[in-house]
């Protein structure tokens, strides 16, 4: 019994570890570049003085400190101002992104899917001539996670305007790159369905809710959520159809339709001709001219 518990404890220690930390100085939001925790350290209980940026981790051991909580409150304000209803976007998309970054920063199993490397000077996405000291991280998520979060965000104004964000992978890569000026972290996303990938189920943007993971949200509409548009329903479902040339698809369908109809009518004409032929062979010689005219009509 004791051995079992000890093994369980050991297991928990091996898998529940934090891989990055960030310190900020007062006034808030003046944060230093996050650094790798090497070797990874256990998660901890933290009582935040500011509101919890990640209500889904309330009362749990986490990997995010008081400083990181305050920094996230600020970053999440920016997410709302970029993806939320105040700019014509969808609050559920913004809530899904917060949920994802909360798992990146606070989840007690952080070291399993967030691999931290060195700090490096990289060009800022905002001002490429300016170099920013950022922590390089690899974040592994499942393919279904990337599809779900992309589907909830793909009709937000900011997302539709940027061509790099037109696929689940592109969308997340872009979020990781945007983290350079905001979080001083350059996150490269990796997609895998293995055990080291974070898997989360997200609310679809069509969900009729006012609370998502503890965040206040307004329901989204067809203006910012593809799932809410009745007419687009069939086109919207598989995201792999994105980018298909619909004119070519239309022409192919038309060709197939004409071909099918031609086959159908020529078979009909041929059957009729054969029937008349046998009738003619029985002595009726009028039919063939009529049927030749008929089949010419359908071939034209």
List of residues contacting ligand NAG (CB under 6 A): 45-47, 115-117, 136, 138, 208
**Which residue, 136 or 222, has its beta carbon nearer to ligand NAG?**
136
> Six-digit token pair at 236?
């919207």
Return the DSSP state at 253: H
Contact 168, 160 (CB under 8 A): no
**Rounded to the nearest whole angstrom, what is the least distance from the CB of residue 29 to ligand NAG in the complex?**
22
Q: How far apart are CA 236 and CA 13, in angstroms?
A: 43
Phi and psi angles of residue 126, each rounded to the nearest 5 degrees, phi first: -75, -45
Give the SS3 label for residue 132. Answer: strand
**Which residue, 159 or 225, has its beta carbon nearer to ligand NAG?**
225
Contact 91, 84 (CB under 8 A): yes
Q: How far apart are CA 266 and CA 274, in angstroms?
A: 12
Q: Calculate the alpha carbon distances from 114 to 7, 107, 288 in Å.
A: 24, 10, 79
Q: How far apart are CA 290 and CA 131, in angstroms?
A: 84
**Rounded to the nearest whole angstrom, what is the least distance from the CB of residue 81 to ligand NAG in the complex?**
25
**Which residue, 117 or 238, has its beta carbon nearer to ligand NAG?**
117
Q: How far apart are CA 102 and CA 150, in angstroms?
A: 17
Contact 61, 43 (CB under 8 A): yes
**Rounded to the nearest whole angstrom, what is the least distance from the CB of residue 208 to ligand NAG in the complex?**
4
**Which residue, 232 or 260, has its beta carbon nearer to ligand NAG?**
232
Q: Calculate the alpha carbon distances from 115 to 15, 104, 159, 283 in Å.
A: 13, 10, 27, 90
**Rounded to the nearest whole angstrom, what is the least distance from the CB of residue 100 to ligand NAG in the complex?**
18
**Which residue, 159 or 203, has its beta carbon nearer to ligand NAG?**
203
Q: How far apart are CA 184 and CA 212, in angstroms?
A: 27
Q: Point out the residue whose Cβ comes nearest to ligand NAG.
A: 117
**Rounded to the nearest whole angstrom, what is the least distance from the CB of residue 49 to ligand NAG in the complex?**
10
**Which residue, 38 or 129, has its beta carbon nearer to ligand NAG?**
38
**Rounded to the nearest whole angstrom, what is the least distance from the CB of residue 200 to ligand NAG in the complex?**
21
Give the helix/strand (H/E) hosting 18. strand 18-21
**Which residue, 20 or 159, has its beta carbon nearer to ligand NAG?**
20
**Rounded to the nearest whole angstrom, what is the least distance from the CB of residue 153 to ligand NAG in the complex?**
20
**Which residue, 97 or 135, has its beta carbon nearer to ligand NAG?**
135
**Rounded to the nearest whole angstrom, what is the least distance from the CB of residue 209 to ligand NAG in the complex?**
8
């Amino acid at each position: 019994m004791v051995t079992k518990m000890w093994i369980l404890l050991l297991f928990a220690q091996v898998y529940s570890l934090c891989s990055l930390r960030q310190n900020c100085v007062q006034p808030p939001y003046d944060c230093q570049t996050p650094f790798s925790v090497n070797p990874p350290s256990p998660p901890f209980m933290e009582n935040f003085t500011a509101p919890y940026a990640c209500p889904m981790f309330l009362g749990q051991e986490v990997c995010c400190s008081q400083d990181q909580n305050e920094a996230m409150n600020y970053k999440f304000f920016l997410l709302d101002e970029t993806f939320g209803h105040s700019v014509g976007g969808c609050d559920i998309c913004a809530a899904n992104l917060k949920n994802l970054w909360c798992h990146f920063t606070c989840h007690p199993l952080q070291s399993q899917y967030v691999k931290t490397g060195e700090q490096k000077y990289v060009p800022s996405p905002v001002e490429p001539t300016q170099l920013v000291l950022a922590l390089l991280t690899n974040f592994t998520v499942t393919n279904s996670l990337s599809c779900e979060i992309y589907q909830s965000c793909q009709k937000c104004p900011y997302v539709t305007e940027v061509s790099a964000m037109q696929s689940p992978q592109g969308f997340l890569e872009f979020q990781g790159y945007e983290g350079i000026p905001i979080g001083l972290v350059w996150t490269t996303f990796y997609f895998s369905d293995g055990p080291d990938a974070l898997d989360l189920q997200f609310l679809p943007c069509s969900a009729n809710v006012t609370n998502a993971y503890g965040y206040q949200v307004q329901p989204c509409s067809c203006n910012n959520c593809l799932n809410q548009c009745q007419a687009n329903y069939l086109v919207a479902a598989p995201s792999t159809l994105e980018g298909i040339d619909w004119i070519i698809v239309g022409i192919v369908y038309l060709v197939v339709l004409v071909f099918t109809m031609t086959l159908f009518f020529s078979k009909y004409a041929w059957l009729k001709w054969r029937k008349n032929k046998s009738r003619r062979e029985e002595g009726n010689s009028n039919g063939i001219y009529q049927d030749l005219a008929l089949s010419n009509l359908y071939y034209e």
